[in-house]
Chain A
Amino acid sequence: MTSLTAATAARSSASSEHSLVVEDLRVHYDTPEGVIKAVDGVSLALKPGERLALVGESGSGKSTLAMALMRLTKAPGRIVAGHIYLGGKDITLLEEPEMRQLRLNEIALVPQGAMNSLNPVMRVKHQIIDGILDHVADRKQTPDSHELEERVNRLLARVGLSPEVGRMFPHELSGGMKQRVAMAIAISLSPRVIVADEPTSALDVVVQRQIMQTLGRLQQGLDAAVILIGHDMGLVAQFANRVGVMYAGKLVELGPVQQIFTEPLHPYTKLLIESLPNLEEKKKFIGIPGLPPTLLRLPSGCVFHPRCPSFIKGTCETVAPHYQEVRPERETSCHLYAGVRA
């Protein structure tokens, strides 16, 4: 297989052009019942300033992927194969102390549950400051308290919070404010890549929109690449440049947001978009038949074949489709496009 996939494209230009390149990443959980392949051969590449959204049902491996990108995969999970290039450096090979330096500095996380992601017994400003302090390369360059205070206030202002918030404890903040604090922490060292793992879950719709706008503004200011993980297609459509669809640990389709919504290629993406409620026309609500597979016993061949309406007998249940570029900027893994090459 020598088609021009993201992986091969990445290898050629991993260092210069891209902020983040993921190559055939596999994250498995070893459980007594067997190996769970939560992320199973995902490849993608991000340029500076790009916004990529990853969507998929619960258990499709989105959050596992996000944690792997931070290299925070916890036992029994482990990265079994693949490479993650962050600014040209393969972080899967780094020792933990080096990786620690890169977190927040190069790659930052905007967490899922902002409600509980702040330390309940520390004032907000100290939670911003400690990240800065622990990344001071040279002890002599440690900023003094006045300078730190100043930096905290600037960061808070950038996420739309007043300096008073710095003196507060997390429980005194609303959900939206906590999420803003989490964003202020994430941008405190101007990272190259921001991983936003469902940053708006547990927030109401109005606040969701504000948070996404703030995140977008911050990202533009830093020219950082953002990976937005979520399952809210509407939110994704408004925010992202490109969308990747995940199913059972695999990336089944990736393409520009406009094209994904108007002309989805993979049958799963099609069903996902058809299932969205529409404001203009009143129609019957359509779901996707069947259930997502358990990751312990994946279907043979294409993992989606038991639920697929365009199932090709004799092929789909035996042969796993290759993930390939089938049109310019459009990648998918589906036998329907097996003969098509970009």
Chain B
Amino acid sequence: MTEIVVERPSGTSAAARRMRFAQRFFVAVVGNYVFRRVLFFLFVVWLASTVIFIIPRLSGQDPVKEKLLLEAQRGGHLQSGFEDMARTYQKRFGLDRPIWIQYRNFILDLAQFDLGPSIAFFPRTVNDILMDSLVWTIGLLGTVTILSFVIGTLSGALLGWPRAPGYFKYLFGPLLTLSAIPFYLLALLLVFLFAFRFSIFPLFGGYGIGKVPDFSLDFALQVLRHAILPAMSIILASIGFWALGMRGMMVTMQGSDFMVQAEAKGLKAGRIFLRYALRNALLPQTTALALSLGTVLTGAVLVEVVFRYPGLGNTLYQAIRLSDFFIIRGFVFAVIVSLALATLIVDITYPLLDPRVKYRKG
């Protein structure tokens, strides 16, 4: 066998270098950092699941009996086979088994994202119920969170930029005020003004009464019209938060040496603003964004209740009223997963945003 030596032109050697880099990247990052992060994520989810398994059992209440008693009260008398009935349901839900078996089944079910049956809406499953409302919440709150992040961060950046047009400083007062008002109060105010006083927008709901959800343009427009007030209440209340944080970071950036040097280099103002000031001030903001995306599910329970929006918050509210432990548990589990997922995403993407943070062992 003779060895074939290939003379590479400089173009391919750059490609080869990139390839080698990609390989090293894979080994170093995936082999270590990301893998560890994912393990940690699973650990957190397991721990939290265990906690939500134990806590309801410490309350001493029996959800099946509670539910049956409630029904019996409504019916006006206690049926004779009450104890039998309770036992049958407990058997059906697996609540008669020893606690460790229950725990094992619970974890196994969770691993397959099976959150069990609903008690209040039996025989519908918790998965079914949560999924129905999840779409609404993520659709509304996901969009709203990102929108308010973009608007708030940009206006904050301009507030903290000495060379921004003078009228921007008048934004500061209103933003500060709005950020101090809880969004559910803002929601009430908006409902009163724009739905009750001037009937511009609908009072409540995610779409018109009597409509069946479908994929028509008409329905989409209805959804949009119904979403405007809840969205506005959250956006108005939270852009102040983003703007104030960003403004503070921008002011800090002005004092740093690299900003002076950027000016000494005679760079165009736009480049200094975007690539130097904003880019660096954005780092803490993105962490906050990821974390607030993690709390999207719980973020606006009150707003959903005010607007009777068919989202998770409203479902949770119903579940608590009907003491449907399984739905509550499923909801908490979803919150845990989404928070842990957000943290995981921050951990993994942050080194891409800030080169000083390295993917390193541990």
Residues of A at the B interface (CB closer than 8 Å) are: 70, 72, 100-105, 108-109, 111-113, 115-122, 130-131, 134-135, 169, 171, 182, 185
Chain B residues contacting A182 (CB-CB under 8 Å) are 261
Instruction: State in angstroms the CA–CA spacing of A94 and B71 once bound together.
Output: 85
Does the CB pair B258–A118 fall under 8 Å? yes
Instruction: State in angstroms the CA–CA spacing of A116 and B276 once bound together.
Output: 13
Q: Which residue on chain B has the smallest CB distance to residue A172?
A: B355
- Known interface pairs A169-B355, A171-B355, A171-B356. Does A120 touch B258 (Cβ–Cβ under 8 Å)? yes
Q: Which residue on chain B has the smallest CB distance to residue A112?
A: B257
* Given A104-B265, A117-B260, 19 new contacts (CB under 8 A): A72-B264, A100-B266, A101-B266, A103-B263, A105-B266, A109-B264, A113-B257, A117-B257, A117-B261, A119-B258, A119-B275, A119-B276, A120-B356, A122-B275, A131-B265, A134-B268, A169-B355, A171-B355, A171-B356
B261, B271, B279, B283: the one contacting A109 at CB < 8 Å is B261
Chain A residues contacting B96 (CB-CB under 8 Å) are none
Chain A residues contacting B280 (CB-CB under 8 Å) are 119-121
Residue among B267, B268, B353, B356 with max Cβ neighbours from chain A (10 Å)? B267
Can you show 12 pairs from A to B with CB atoms below 8 A apart?
A103-B264, A105-B266, A109-B261, A112-B257, A116-B258, A117-B260, A117-B261, A119-B262, A120-B355, A120-B356, A121-B353, A121-B355
Instruction: State in angstroms the CA–CA spacing of A32 and B262 once bound together.
Output: 29
Does the CB pair B266–A103 fall under 8 Å? yes
Chain B residues contacting A112 (CB-CB under 8 Å) are 257
B256, B264, B283, B354: the one contacting A70 at CB < 8 Å is B264
Instruction: State in angstroms the CA–CA spacing of A87 and B268 once bound together.
Output: 23
Chain A residues contacting B262 (CB-CB under 8 Å) are 119
Does the CB pair B261–A118 fall under 8 Å? yes
Instruction: State in angstroms the CA–CA spacing of A120 and B263 once bound together.
Output: 16
Identify which of residues 232-272 in chain B touch chain A, using a CB-to-CB cut-off of 8 Å.
256-258, 260-268, 271
Q: Mark B43-72, 1 if CB is under 8 A from A, else 0.
A: 000000000000000000000000000000
Q: Mark B325-362, 1 if CB is under 8 A from A, else 0.
A: 00000000000000000000000000001111000000
Q: How many Å from the CB of A128 to the closest CB on chain B?
A: 9
Q: Is the interface of A mostly helix, strand, loop or mixed?
A: loop
Instruction: State in angstroms the CA–CA spacing of A257 and B263 once bound together.
Output: 32
Does the CB pair A134–B271 fall under 8 Å? yes
Q: Which residue on chain B has the smallest CB distance to residue A66?
A: B264
- Known interface pairs A119-B258, A119-B275, A119-B276. Does A169 touch B356 (Cβ–Cβ under 8 Å)? yes
Q: Which residue on chain B has the smallest CB distance to residue A132?
A: B265
Residue among A118, A120, A121, A171 with max Cβ neighbours from chain B (10 Å)? A121
Chain B residues contacting A119 (CB-CB under 8 Å) are 258, 262, 275-276, 279-280
Q: Which residue on chain A has the smallest CB distance to residue B263?
A: A72
Chain B residues contacting A120 (CB-CB under 8 Å) are 258, 280, 354-356
Q: How many Å from the CB of B9 to the closest CB on chain A?
A: 15
Q: Which residue on chain A has the smallest CB distance to residue B268?
A: A134
- Known interface pairs A120-B280, A169-B356, A171-B356. Does A130 touch B261 (Cβ–Cβ under 8 Å)? no
Q: How many Å from the CB of A28 to the closest CB on chain B?
A: 20
Chain B residues contacting A105 (CB-CB under 8 Å) are 266
Chain B residues contacting A121 (CB-CB under 8 Å) are 279-280, 283, 353-355
Does the CB pair A130–B266 fall under 8 Å? no
Residue among B257, B260, B266, B356 with max Cβ neighbours from chain A (10 Å)? B266
Q: How many Å from the CB of B254 to the closest CB on chain A?
A: 9
Q: How many Å from the CB of A317 to the closest CB on chain B?
A: 39
Chain B residues contacting A109 (CB-CB under 8 Å) are 261, 264
Q: How many Å from the CB of B331 to the closest CB on chain A?
A: 39
Instruction: State in angstroms the CA–CA spacing of A214 and B362 once bound together.
Output: 41
Q: How many Å from the CB of B295 to the closest CB on chain A?
A: 27
Chain A residues contacting B283 (CB-CB under 8 Å) are 121
Does the CB pair B258–A134 fall under 8 Å? no
Q: Which residue on chain B has the smallest CB distance to residue A126?
A: B275
- Known interface pairs A101-B266, A135-B266. Does A130 touch B260 (Cβ–Cβ under 8 Å)? no
Chain B residues contacting A115 (CB-CB under 8 Å) are 257
Q: How many Å from the CB of B258 to the closest CB on chain A?
A: 5
Does the CB pair B264–A111 fall under 8 Å? yes
Chain A residues contacting B261 (CB-CB under 8 Å) are 109, 111, 117-118, 182, 185
Q: How many Å from the CB of B281 to the closest CB on chain A?
A: 11
Identify which of residues 125-148 in chain B touch chain A, using a CB-to-CB cut-off of 8 Å.
none
Does the CB pair B265–A116 fall under 8 Å? no
Does the CB pair B257–A103 fall under 8 Å? no
Chain A residues contacting B353 (CB-CB under 8 Å) are 121
Q: How many Å from the CB of A182 to the closest CB on chain B?
A: 7
Q: How many Å from the CB of A281 to the closest CB on chain B?
A: 41
